[in-house]
Amino acid sequence: MIFAMWDEVMFYLGPIPVDHIIVTEWLVIVFIGVIAYLATRNMQIVPRGLQNLFESLVIWTYDFFSQVIEKENAARKWAPLLSTFFIFILVCNLSGLIPGAAHIGGFQPPTSNWNVTMTLALITFFAVHVSGIMENKLHYFAHFISPSPLMLPLNLVEEVARPLSLTIRLFGNIFGKEVVLGFLLFLAPFFLPAIFLALAVLLSVIQAVVFTMLSASYIGASTSGGH
By CB under 8 A, name the binding residues for other proteins.
3-4, 6-9, 16-19, 21-22, 25-26, 28-29, 32-33, 36-37, 39-40, 43, 45, 47, 54-55, 58-59, 62, 76-77, 79-81, 83-84, 87-88, 110, 112-116, 118-120, 122-123, 126-127, 130-131, 134, 175
DSSP string, 96-110: TTSTTTTTSTT---G
Least spacing, CB of residue 70 vs other proteins, in Å: 17
Q: What amino acid is encoded at 74 in this protein?
A: A
CB-nearer residue toward other proteins: 47 or 225? 47
Give the torsion through C-alpha atoms of 165, 168, 169, 173, to 10 deg: 180
Chain CA centroid to CA 97, Å: 17
Query: 10 Å Cβ neighbour count for 70?
Result: 14
The nearer residue to other proteins, 76 or 139, going by C-beta atoms, is 76
Rounded to 5°, angle at Cα 166 from 21 and 175: 45
CA distance 73 to 207: 26
- Looking at beta carbons only, is 58 or 221 nearer to other proteins? 58
| Helix or strand (DSSP H, E) at 60 | helix 50-68
Q: How far is the CB of 199 from other proteins (least distance, A)?
A: 22
Task: Give me the helix-helix angle, 114-136 and 72-95, nearest 10°.
Answer: 180
Cβ proximity to other proteins: between 123 and 205 the closer is 123
Tell me whether residue 33 or residue 105 sits nearer to other proteins (CB atom): 33
User: Would you call the peptide bond into 147 cis, given omega within 30 degrees of 0 as the criterion?
Assistant: yes
Minimum distance between the CB of residue 113 and other proteins, rounded to whole angstroms? 5
Strand 9-13 to 16-19 pairing: antiparallel
Tell me the C-alpha to C-alpha distance, in Å, between residue 20 and each of 103, 156, 200, 205, 227.
11, 35, 22, 23, 39
Q: How far is the CB of 148 from other proteins (least distance, A)?
A: 29
Q: CB nearer to other proteins: give 119 or 146.
A: 119
C-beta of 190: minimal distance to other proteins in Å? 26
Looking at beta carbons only, is 41 or 191 nearer to other proteins?
41
**Least distance from other proteins to the Cβ atom of residue 213, Å:** 18
Distance in angstroms (rounded) separating the CA atoms of residues 25 and 97:
15
* Shortest spacing between CB 197 and other proteins, in angstroms: 22
